[in-house]
Amino acid sequence: MENYETLNVITEHADDFVYILELDRPDAMNSLSTQMAVELIECLKDLKDRKDIRVLILTGAGEKSFCTGADLKERKTMNNDQWKKQHDIFEDAYQMIREFPYPVIVAVNGYALGGGMEMMLSCDLRYVADHAKMGLPEVTLGIIPGVGGTQLLPRAIPVALAKEFLLTGKHIPAERALGAGLINGIFTGAELREKTLEVAKTIAKNAPLSLQSIKKSVDKGLQTDLNTALSIELDQYYKCANSEDRQEGVLAFNEKRKPNWQGK
């Protein structure tokens, strides 16, 4: 698979071992329709088992918006049963982002609101354009975040700040998000994709088993007590220590050359 485009999602093989998924509904602020969520699931399923991927970048088309959450024009026609069925699809898509075996980097090129911010929170690293604004405005619509916002946000920043953002529904400028520790960095809109790709390339040079094991150790360890978390880390450590790639890494170091990782 090289580059290909579905109706609402574009997949790009941007560099060795780096793929980009781009939400492609710029005229609708890249809001999440049912069809887009289905396509996102299909693309993630295809990518997660590929041998030529070590990092995934998630971004949106255009310069105004990464994603503004669920398409409310679509939702206004739904009854409760239809709303629930759509939300089930959204849950599956966001879970696949969180559980993607390799690091997922989000490049937020504009508004990340509601489900858009929850999608951002589902990623491992977060870089945003200087004009980007984030927020969880569900409280102003009579609902609450439903694909991770109330759980992921207080795991990313201090609880009092998370509650402030959740309870007010206000937009969060890029600089405040950086100060809160919510994002990893800010770039100009023109630089965002290139700079994010540079980070992805740096990560993609490393051993694929190590990348998977670090992500798994951190994510699973955060969900349990310290002793259990250390056991999770040790399991992943020996998975890497007993691998062919560990032997290759030591050999390459001593031979002063770049390692040739095989992922085994």
Domain ranges of the chain: 4-204, 208-254
Phi, psi of 239, rounded to the nearest 5 degrees = -60, -40
Q: Which of 12, 118, 244, 255 is catalytic?
A: 118
Q: Is 164 a catalytic residue?
A: no
* Residue of 39, 91, 138, 255 marked catalytic: 138
Question: Who contacts 19 (Cβ-Cβ below 8 Å, separation ≥6)?
Answer: 11, 12, 13, 47, 50, 53, 55, 56, 57
Name the fold adopted by 4-204. Answer: 2-enoyl-CoA Hydratase; Chain A, domain 1 (3.90.226)
Containing H/E element for 134?
A: strand 133-135
Can you give the pLDDT at residue 6? Answer: 74
pTM of the model: 0.94
Q: What is the pLDDT of residue 65?
A: 97
Q: Residue-wise over 73-84: b if at least 16 C-beta within 10 A, else e?
A: ebbeeeeeeeee
pLDDT at res. 4? 63
pLDDT at residue 3, as a whole number: 66
Across all residues in the chain, what is the average pLDDT? Answer: 95
Which pLDDT tens digit goes with each residue over 234-244?
Answer: 999 999 999 99
Please list the pLDDT of the chain residue by residue as tens digits (264 residues): 456 667 899 999 999 999 999 999 999 999 999 999 999 999 999 999 999 999 999 999 999 999 999 998 888 889 999 999 999 999 999 999 999 999 999 999 999 999 999 999 999 999 999 999 999 999 999 999 999 999 999 999 999 999 999 999 999 999 999 999 999 999 999 999 999 999 999 999 999 999 999 999 999 999 999 999 999 999 999 999 999 999 999 999 999 999 999 889
Domain 208-254: state its class: mainly alpha
Could you confirm whether 118 is annotated as catalytic?
A: yes
Measured distance CA(100)–CA(125) in Å, rounded: 13
d(CA 20, CA 200): 10
